[in-house]
Every structure is written in C-alpha cells, then in structure tokens.
Structure 1
C-alpha cells in the first residue's frame, strides 16, 4: 500500500472528528496521534515561512516522516501544479521498473545491397568513440569482402512521430531538448540527431578507408540485411543516475519511449505516459489523482503533478525493498550545495538561511518559466528521514528569490534553520 493510501486509511479509520481537527494545522498527524516535538517544529516553521514568503496558494507542499509515512505538513498538497523537471522522478521510476537497472540499449550496423545501415536503439549516451568502434568493425568486414565504397543510411524507425511533445515551446529545441529520436551521437543538440549521427558514422568510415557513395539518407532495414557490428550502452542504472543528477531532458525523453516499448505500448509520448502511469499505480500503488503527463522530462507546460505524488515517489527511495531497482535515482539525486543541479555556482543552498543544509539535503530540482519545484529527502533533527516536495507556480517574485525560499523550506525540514 502506498504512503498516501496508508495516510488516507488512517484518516478514514479515525472518523470525522480527526478530520475536523486536521482542517487547520494542529499538533496531530493524519492518524490522529500527536506529532513529535521535532515534527511539530517543522510544521510550525514551514507554515510561518510559507506565509512570510507570500507563496500561499501558489505552493503545493507536502512533508512526511519516511519511516512511519505520517504527514507532517501540507499546503495545497493535493493540488496538481506544473512540476517541471520533477517529472523525471516518475520517468526514472517507471524506466527502472519496466526495463531493469541492468538493461542496456543496443546500436547496430547491418549490411545489404551495397548499403550499411546504422540502427538507432535508444542509446542517448552514444559517443563518437562508440561509433568509431562500430565503423572500424564494419570497415574491416567490408575490406575483407573487397569493398571500398558503400552507401550509408540511418534507421530511426524505433520511435514514430511526433518528435515534439504537447506543451513544448519553440524556444526549447534543439538546445533545451532535441526532437526525440532513437539515434544520437555525443548528445549533439541538433534538429535531426539521426542524420547527424549517420554523417559522423560516414566520416569515421572514411577514416578507415571506406568512402561513402552519396549522402546519408533515412531508411529501414530489409529482412536479408546481415549484422555487421553492435554496441551496447552503459547499464540503465548509470544512465538514470546521470539523468537525475544533471536533469538531462533528452535522456528523459528517450527513456520514456523505451519504457513504452517495454510495457507493450507504442513508442510515443502518449504510450510513454500510459506506461508510466501503469507502473506507478500497479507496481507501487502511487495515487495519480490530478496527474497529467505529456512527456518524460517535465518540459511540457501542460503537465501537472501534486506534491503528494512527488513525495510518494521520493518515499519509495527510502524503502529497502526497492533499493536494487530504484537505488540509481537516490544515487543521482543532487546534494545541496555540492553536486548536480544543486552544485556550487548555481545559486542553490549558498546563502542564509539555507546554507546550513549544504550536504544535508538531496533533492530533484525543477525549473520552468513560472514553475519551480524541489522534491527530496533529508535526515531531520530526530535522526529520521523526512521526505518533502514543494512545487511553486506563478509567484510574482524573482525566480532566484523563489529558489532561495524553496531551499530555505528544505533546510526547515532538515531542522538546521
């Protein structure tokens, strides 16, 4: 049973009297028992600081004790807002569950009718060195057959159109996110990553003494094509860690499509969203009330997730039963003031009052115009893990100031502020 379900069960079992008590913030948890002194201080301080910051209705916030799954604090907690890159928590959870942390993505080269075809397999971390090894193996085979010239095409049919998601703006691509295709090299931010990879591959063939006949084109393989070479990506566990740490939009979108395939869905944005919802609800019993997904990265301005759901996703990381599968997400969560999108020089946890939480908070960031989010965990002053999620939409303050407020709220949960 999910944390939310357990909280609701506790509230239902205690009847309407407890429900009326919880209408306002009090010294009682959702199960009707008093909050501990540590948790009560967190609740009181958060209520005061959110009010001082003027966030109010702009903030969906939720804090829970990870061991007991008891609610400590809620502010519009079930209100679904734009989660920005906190969406990647859902994408990573579904991908690791559907594919497995040891899964690797394969890029292949086949030959037929005078043509080498480079086939995209969803490896978003493919490098020039990887392509170079493929080109050398292919060139050796061609030379052994007495061939010195070949046509080159790319097959990226694994992912159907559209390559752009609902809710993406023109300013996103190709720098913030590239149109989603299963073939890319070095993460090059271009509009057509498949043809770009094919051209790099053709150049590497030339370095091996094989010339390219004509330009690189897009096409599909034939049944009689002969396997020539293949390359396997690092394990999914490493790829997810990188995605979470650096909030890599392109990896997230590729993983959404590959998760769809693993779940038996079309490799589209819609198929990926369906696969994520199925995994979260059926495998982890995470409630999806108000959740609307349109991509894997959270760039879609149409996406909505409440703080309670995001907190439930983080809470899964504290459960030893899920460590083998979901551990890479926890390993990748940025550390306040130290790593990833919370690292030095990024204006996070580097001033009063949040600087006290440096090294003490791990959290996934989220940033869009008009939307900021921070969901993670920290050890409270009582030595127990606290899980939190704060999602802000539409605040009138400068985004940098709002980020400082969210960092301060996380420090409040830690108890150092």
Structure 2
C-alpha cells in the first residue's frame, strides 16, 4: 500500500500537480505565525491576532505560513468566490439564461395586431437582464405584428418564494446592493434617477429613466462651479404613499461633472417588473388592456420573442469584479434549479453547491454559505477551506474563466485603487470583502520568481477596517517572492 501511494505521489509530481515538498501534509510544513516583516505590519494595526486568519500557499507547492486557518470566519464578499466557483464548475462557462415571451398554441393575432389570449413570459432567472434587453424583446414582438395584448402572465416557477425584505440586512432598503432576488429581475430592480445639467440656469433637472408611472422626484441638488471632485454626493429619502414612490433628493454637484445618475430601489421586484412591462410596451407603440400577473406557461406554448444572456464566464466577471450581491443570489438559485431542485430555494441550492464542491474533494469544513453573496452575518468559511478551494480551482478546466473573473490589482473592479505602484499593479487577481466588523481578501498573487501564490486573509473585529494596510503589506510581500 505504501509503495502504491509513493508511486501515485511521484506520478502527480511529474505532472506538476504537486512538488516534492508537498509529499508531506501541507499543514505540517506550513510555518505557524507570520513572517517577521508581516508580523510588524500586523502589529501596526493594533488588532489582536485572535481576529486574524491567514493562509499563503504556493500553487502546486507548499504552504508558506498560516495563522488560525481552521477557524470559520465571516468573509463578507469573498464568499462570492465559493458560489461562483461551484456554479461555473457545475454549469460550465458557456451556460446561458433564456427569457421568452410566448403565446398559447391556439392564440391568434388578427389584422389589427390584437393577440387573443394572454401573453406569457417564461422567466429563466437571468441575473443580468437589463432594461434595454426587455425593450428589444418588446420591439421584436411589435415586429411580429403584435400591437394589443390583454394580460401578461409571468411564470417564475423556476424559483420558489425567494423574495427578501431589502431593508432587513442594514436598514438601507433603497440601496441596490440590498436588492431581492427574483426569477424575472430587470436591471436588478433599481430605479435610475438622472440629473441633467442646465448651465444657463445653473441648476439640475432630474428625471426617471425609463419613465415609469408612480415615481416622483422632489427636492433640489445645489449647483456649484467647482472642479468636478468625482461622483457627486447626493442624498435621497423615499416615501411610498397610495402607490406612488417619492424620492426627495439633496446635496451638491459641480456643473463640470456633467450628467450623472444614481440608482435606488423603490418597489418589489415583481411590482417594478409589472410597471416596467406596461410602460415600455406603450413606449414601443403597444397597448395593454389587462394586467400583469403571476401564473404558469401552458403546455404547447409558442415562443414569439426570446433573449439569451451573456455566458456564465462573462456573468461571473461582473459578479466578482463589481461584487454584485443580487446577481450572486440569483446564480446560487440557478445552480439549484439546474440540478433539478425546482422550484429552487436558498436551502436546496446551498445543498447543491456544497455537493458540487464535495465531489471535488472539498469538504469545506465549517462552511455556512447562507445566501452565497457574503452580504450576511451568518455566512462563514475558514481560510483553510477557502485556500483549498482556490487551489482546486486553479487546477480545474475552468481555471482561465474563473481567475479572470477576479479584480486585477490596481487596475479594475473593487481592487482598482489598491497598490497601483508599477511594482505591484496587475500582479494579483483578488476578491475583496468588507462589512461592519469584517475585512477580507483572497485570490492569486504573481511573485517576482514567476511562482503563483494563493492568499487568503480574513479579519473579524470591530476595528477590522484597520487591517487594510496589513492586506496591502501581505500582497506586496508576496510579489517580491
């Protein structure tokens, strides 16, 4: 048996899956505690070492060092790495979502363009269906001779009851990062408030795009003549009375900034979609005499207009680089639905995701995936589990698509303003995470020797944000190796 294992290890070494240094268990080789340079950087944070978990490992090689690797900690948005890897390894990089407008098999369109019977919409859980995509779908229906429709029946049966209260997490129910998942989610359910400059009158004109009935903008944004400092600091308060949502805006904006927009939640995903459908159908010259309601697509229904999402390889780039929470939630639910757990729920989808990882030898001990996005106080993972998953991902067939979904250090995504010095810029692909009491970073660093390193750092403490300088020191140190 020992001889057989030795032959297997030697064979793995020849294929580059491990180095001779990896023949011993990684945990036994790893240095316990931080190297001197990094211990000094950590000391400057004045945070207790008990709040820190770190793993640094050479890809295909040994662990360099580790600190409290097996303690489950809240990783904030770094949790998205788990969800996106489970999804792309199970569904494949070319997976796409479909959204279809359909009519009954016995429905007819008369010479005046009136559709007999309801128009059906089969929602596919597309996490990146945008307003312009819905507009094109409606335009396609008009090109096919449909002018007047009665009811629109939306079939959301791919998912179960997955709606959440957007204010539940932190009370900021109007912020898009808190958006609820839904099988038919358009533009993340966020309302676009546009501010157009009028230099002659030195004021800002505000309007909603697209123009949806039941949304009003009050208040005033003050015009200034200063040099544009960046994104204008605009505050909004919203009230909902008698079916009308009113945004009261305030703040200042430099005219030199030009037109800008902000996005806010105002309706549930279902209500927003219903209002948007009706207003956009009228915008393309159509007429609706009925209502938008939930239901099922009947057997034998015929597609009349369809939209296909970008492939999953592109979708996870949006998720990980921009750290989009609701897209991640929908992706997790899609994973459950495609595994036959329809209507998919968060619980059933988490079971599928952990099963996908387990079949790759990743037991992810201590993992609580929760909603998959990291916007959670319950979600936890250990640095050890995260590092093992990142190593497995690097050795997997989907490695190029997965790694390219991470933010490039100092270049784009949530890491665009980190370590922009030429000596470090673009030398890492990472995912960052931050919540109150949480700071984390994980990914891959390219050392000066040409070696790749896996890095995972998680801090859970009331002053966790003070760990940013340590994270930078950790990555900088690795780029020199």
- Both proteins in one fold, TM over 0.5: yes
For these two proteins, the number of residue pairs brought into alignment is 377
- Residue matched to 1:373: 440
Displacement after TM superposition at 1:60 (Å) = 0.9
Structure 1 residue aligned with 2:103: 111
Q: Could you say which residue in structure 2 is the equivalent of 1:274?
A: 351
Q: What does residue 99 of structure 1 align with?
A: 91
Per-residue deviation at 1:356?
Answer: 4.7
1:83 positional shift: 0.9
**Cα distance in structure 2, aligned partners of 1:7 and 1:389:** 21
Question: Aligned residue for 2:24?
Answer: 10
For normalisation by structure 2, the TM-score amounts to 0.71
> How far off its partner does 1:281 sit?
1.3
Instruction: Flag the 1:79–1:119 CA change in 2: closer, same or farther, 3 A.
Output: same
* Worse overlay, 256-265 or 308-317: 308-317
Measured in 2, the distance between the counterparts of 1:61 and 1:171 equals 32
Q: Tell me the distance in 1 between the aligned counterparts of 2:299 and 2:351.
A: 31
Q: Shift in Å at residue 384 of structure 1?
A: 1.0
Question: For the Cα contact (< 8 Å) 2:56–2:66, is it kept in 1?
Answer: yes
By how many angstroms is 1:203 displaced? 2.7
Please give the secondary structure, in 2, of the residue aligned with 1:187: helix
For residues 51 and 95 of structure 1, the distance between their equivalents in structure 2, rounded to whole angstroms, comes to: 38
Partner of 1:291: 367
Match of 1:120 in 2: 123
Larger radius of gyration: 2
Corresponding residue for residue 45 of structure 1: 37
SS at match of 2:404: helix
31 and 302 in structure 1: CA distance in 2 versus 1, 3 angstrom threshold: closer
Aligned counterpart, 2:408:
335
Q: Distance in 1 between matches of 2:336 and 2:470?
A: 37
Instruction: Sort the Cα spacing of 1:391 and 1:156 in 2 relative to 1 into closer, same or farther, 3 A.
Output: same
Q: Would you say 1:391 and 2:467 are equivalent positions? A: no
Determine if contact 2:102/2:303 at 8 Å carries over to the other structure. yes
Q: What CA distance in whole angstroms lies between the structure 2 residues aligned with 1:294 and 1:231?
A: 30
Q: Provide the rounded CA distance (Å) in 1 between the counterparts of 2:189 and 2:340.
A: 29
Give the deviation of 1:142 after TM superposition.
Answer: 4.7
Q: What residue ranges of structure 1 are gaps of 5+ in the alignment?
A: 12-28
Q: Does 1:231 align with 2:307?
A: yes
Contact 2:57 2:455 in 1 (8 A): yes
Question: C-alpha root-mean-square deviation of aligned residues, in Å?
Answer: 3.1
Q: Is contact 2:118–2:149 with CA below 8 Å preserved after alignment?
A: no
Q: Kindly report which structure 2 residues correspond to 1:61-210, keeping only aligned pairs within 5 A, or say none.
A: 61-68=54-61, 70-112=62-104, 114-143=117-146, 148-164=148-164, 169-171=169-171, 173-175=173-175, 176-189=177-190, 190=265, 191-210=267-286
Tell me how far 1:30 sits from its aligned partner. Answer: 4.2
Q: Relative to 1, partners in 2 of residues 1:233 and 1:169: Cα closer, same or farther, differing over 3 Å?
A: same
TM-score, normalised by the number of residues in structure 1: 0.81
Greater strand share, structure number: 2
Q: Distance in 2 between matches of 1:149 and 1:161?
A: 28
| Larger relative helix fraction | 1
Task: Show CA shifts across 1:143-200 (max 9, x none).
Answer: 4xxx634222322222111323999615354521311101122223344223423432
The structural deviation recorded for 1:274 is: 0.9
Structure 1 position 225, deviation (Å): 3.6
For structure 2, list consecutive stretches of 5 or more residues without a partner in the other structure. Answer: 1-8, 105-115, 191-264
Residue in 2 aligned with 1:357? Answer: 424
Secondary structure class of the residue paired with 1:242: helix
Shift of 1:40: 11
Contact 2:33 2:66 in 1 (8 A): no
What is the distance in 2 between the residues matched to 1:404 and 1:365? 13
Q: Per-residue displacement from partner, 1:40-84 (whole Å, max 9, x unpaired)?
A: 99833333433443340101111111121x111111111110011
C-alpha separation between the residues in 2 aligned to 1:117 and 1:7? 60
For 1:172 and 1:291, the matched residues in 2 are separated by 27
